[in-house]
Amino acid sequence: MHRFAVNKKIVYCSTVTTETNTDVLIVHSVIFIILVVAVFIYGLTLLMNKKSKKRLTQNVSEKYQARENLRALEILAPLLVFHFIGYLSYFAISIVIQSLKPIVGELPFRVIYSATYFISYYCVISPLLLLHIMKKKKAESEKTVFNCTGNAQQNKDAYFQSYNQMWR
């Protein structure tokens, strides 16, 4: 392993040492750049589907596909925003804490780093957010679904009930 002391005992959830600090910073920077590109591509996809939905066309399946894409993108939007803010916060806090290591010392650094280890919070909150989004979308779809068979049965009953009352 490249400069990672895997044979040493490490008390906290990090392999960041003085030798590996630059490597970890580069990896986090690359991940952040990939996240920015993903947000940019998400925005372009959203814009293209909105334009496609508004465009006058003879092709019904194209409009339907654009509408379905927009529904999927609406579900992903809160997760993408949460992930972007969460990773940006984690990245910024990690840089600040890494710069505090020489000032505060080894043990306080490990305590601070473990307390602000964002990934565990993210792993708890992210599924809860997804569950909330799914419940919200299910409630919205239940509002728009109409039960045609139930209304027809009631209308049929009303029709025969009115005849029944007329013959009495």
Q: Contact at 8 Å (CB) between 84 and 53? A: no
Would you say residue 6 lies in a domain?
Answer: no
Would you say residue 154 lies in a domain?
Answer: yes
Would you say residue 152 lies in a domain?
Answer: yes
In tens, the pLDDT along 101-129 reads 888 887 887 788 778 777 778 888 888 98
Would you say residue 9 lies in a domain?
Answer: no
Q: 33 lies in which domain range?
A: 21-166
Q: Contact at 8 Å (CB) between 29 and 18? A: no
CA 14 to chain centroid? 25
Q: How many domains does the chain have?
A: 1
- Find, among 82, 81, 92, the residue nearest to 29 by Cα: 92
| % of the chain beyond a pLDDT of 70 | 74
Whole-angstrom distance, CA of residue 78 vs CA of residue 136? 12
Would you say residue 82 lies in a domain?
Answer: yes
Would you say residue 100 lies in a domain?
Answer: yes
Would you say residue 10 lies in a domain?
Answer: no
In tens, the pLDDT along 53-68 reads 887 776 777 878 888 8
